[in-house]
């Protein structure tokens, strides 16, 4: 049986933050509006069509709930949490377990999993060697402070460049294969 891949597909400011100091992502709104049509929307739709499962942390899940309608339809979504949270849809399943075990199970069951975020979960998946690809959309803004995409860590990871896309809005998407922990 083949093993599915996990892709961390996430946006960050050019200085490496995924949210402001309060966890807000309102700074993304301007760029979401600019990219609702055109190349970025097409690239997102292409990526979304390639995945058959999503996984995210509780904080990311709660933030997505504030946006209104559930944006992922009936795509199976796993939320890693120790807390009781409201279920957005029947496609959402709450999981409380060891990251390595959860990731291994997702890789067995699904061909392509989108690791939505947040930063803590991304680091845990990386540290457990369960991120195959990184697709990072750099948003042309400097926040100066906030929640960093990657917390400081002693681990070094090798990346193999796969693709770079530049969009009219100034967003640059970097696509890498995670090759090895060094």
Supply the pLDDT for residue 30: 80
Q: Tell me, yes or no, whether 36 and 91 share the same domain.
A: yes
Supply the pLDDT for residue 182: 55
- Spatial separation of the C-alpha atoms in residues 13 and 21, rounded to whole Å: 13
Quick check: is 3 in a domain?
no
Per-residue pLDDT tens digits for 12-59: 999 999 999 998 888 888 877 656 667 788 888 999 999 999 999 999
Per-residue pLDDT tens digits for 60-77: 999 999 988 999 999 999
Structure tokens at 179: 């090759």
Quick check: is 182 in a domain?
yes
pTM for this prediction: 0.92
Supply the pLDDT for residue 152: 75
Rounded to 5°, the CA angle 38-88-91 comes to 80
User: What is the tally of structural domains in the chain?
Assistant: 2
Q: Tell me, yes or no, whether 30 and 93 share the same domain.
A: yes
What is the layout of strands, in order, in the sheet containing 133-139?
A: 92-95, 77-80, 53-57, 112-117, 5-13, 133-139, 172-181, 157-166
Per-residue pLDDT tens digits for 109-162: 999 999 998 899 999 999 899 999 999 999 999 999 999 998 877 778 899 999
Quick check: is 177 in a domain?
yes
Which residue range forms the structural domain that includes residue 126?
Answer: 122-182
- Spatial separation of the C-alpha atoms in residues 6 and 112, rounded to whole Å: 6
């Amino acid at each position: 049986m083949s093993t599915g891949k996990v892709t961390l597909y996430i946006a960050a400011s050019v200085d490496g933050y995924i949210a402001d100091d309060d966890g807000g992502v309102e700074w993304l709104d301007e760029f979401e509006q600019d990219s609702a049509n055109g190349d970025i929307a097409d690239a997102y739709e292409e990526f979304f069509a390639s995945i058959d499962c999503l996984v995210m942390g509780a904080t990311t899940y709660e933030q997505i709930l504030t946006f209104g309608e559930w944006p992922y339809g009936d795509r199976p979504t796993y939320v890693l949490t120790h807390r009781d949270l409201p279920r957005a849809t029947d496609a959402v399943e709450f999981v409380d377990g060891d990251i390595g075990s959860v990731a291994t199970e997702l890789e067995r069951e699904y061909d392509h999993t989108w690791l939505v975020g947040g930063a803590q979960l991304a680091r845990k998946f990386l540290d457990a060697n369960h991120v195959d690809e990184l697709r990072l959309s750099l948003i042309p803004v400097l926040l100066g402070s906030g929640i960093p995409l990657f917390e400081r860590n002693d681990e070094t990871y090798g990346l193999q460049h796969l693709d770079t896309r530049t969009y009219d809005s100034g967003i640059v998407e970097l696509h890498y294969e995670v090759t090895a922990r060094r």
